[in-house]
């Protein structure tokens, strides 16, 4: 993983991490800062806003043309990022802008896998109302329920079970498991 210094990032990303004032972001956009600029790992400013859990800035970026389903070099989307920190507000904004709930990263994990693995209960609730099949598997054949249980997130595991996740699911991941 490449760790970048903040001063190496575009001004719009710097503004997201330092201060995080929506008016500053709007000013940068007004002065032609690219809302879809990429760093060396192909992360966008929207990835940064989602990582910070800043729903307001995410909304500003999206309303100015940010790509909601942008994938970084690990195929992680802003929705994956928001789920990893449990930012249900940001997840809500991303879903409003048609974020792909079944987007897969390079490990074939969906945002639901990520939310479950991090015990992001409210994010799981939001995603479950959008995913057609909560039992999709990642590259290792694990479902979101596996991720929740492995990490000790019993509330999340109970929620997943109550919404149709198969308790004894296990299988070899195949393209037919995709939704």
> What does the pLDDT look like over 126-140, one tens digit per residue?
999 999 899 999 999
Average pLDDT, the chain: 91
- In this structure, the chain runs to a length of 179
Last residue of a domain, one of 100, 119, 153: 100
Residue at token pair 């449990």: 86
- Confirm whether 90 is domain-assigned: yes
- Confirm whether 1 is domain-assigned: no
- Confirm whether 24 is domain-assigned: yes
**Rounded to an integer, what is the distance from CA 98 to the centroid of its chain?**
13
| 10 in Cβ contact with 38 (< 8 Å) | no
User: Which of the four pLDDT bands, split at 50, 70 and 90, describes residue 179?
Assistant: very low
| Number of independent structural domains in the chain | 2
Indicate which CATH number applies to the domain containing 106. Answer: 1.25.40.20
Q: Please indicate, yes or no, whether residues 96 and 107 belong to a single structural domain of this protein.
A: no
Q: What is the pLDDT of residue 178?
A: 45
- 12-29 burial, b if ≥16 CB within 10 A, otherwise e? bbbbbeeeeebebbeebb
Q: Which residues contact 76 (CB under 8 A, 6 or more apart)?
A: 47, 105
- Confirm whether 118 is domain-assigned: yes
Tens of pLDDT, residues 73-112:
999 999 999 999 999 999 999 999 999 999 999 999 999 9
Q: Is 134 exposed, middle or buried (0-12, 13-18, 19+ CB in 10 A)?
A: buried
- Residue 57's domain comprises 8-100
Query: In this model, does residue 177 exceed pLDDT 50?
Result: no
Percent of the chain with pLDDT over 90: 82
* Alpha carbon distance 174, 10 (integer Å): 39
């Amino acid at each position: 993983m490449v760790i970048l210094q903040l001063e190496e990032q575009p001004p719009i990303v710097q503004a997201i991490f330092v201060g995080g004032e929506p008016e500053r972001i709007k000013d940068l956009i007004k002065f032609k800062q690219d809302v879809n600029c990429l760093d060396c790992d192909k992360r966008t400013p929207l990835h940064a806003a989602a990582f910070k859990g800043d729903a307001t800035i995410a909304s500003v970026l999206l309303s100015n043309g940010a790509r909601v389903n942008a994938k970084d070099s690990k195929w992680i989307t802003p929705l994956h990022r928001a789920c990893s920190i449990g930012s249900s507000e940001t997840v809500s904004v991303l879903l409003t802008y048609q974020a792909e709930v079944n987007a897969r990263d390079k490990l074939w994990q969906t945002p639901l896998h990520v939310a479950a693995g991090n015990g992001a209960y409210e994010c799981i609730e939001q995603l479950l109302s959008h995913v057609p099949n909560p039992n999709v598997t990642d590259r290792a054949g694990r479902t979101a329920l596996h991720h929740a249980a492995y990490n000790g997130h019993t509330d999340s595991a109970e929620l997943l079970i109550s919404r149709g996740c198969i308790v004894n699911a296990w299988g070899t991941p195949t393209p037919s498991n995709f939704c």
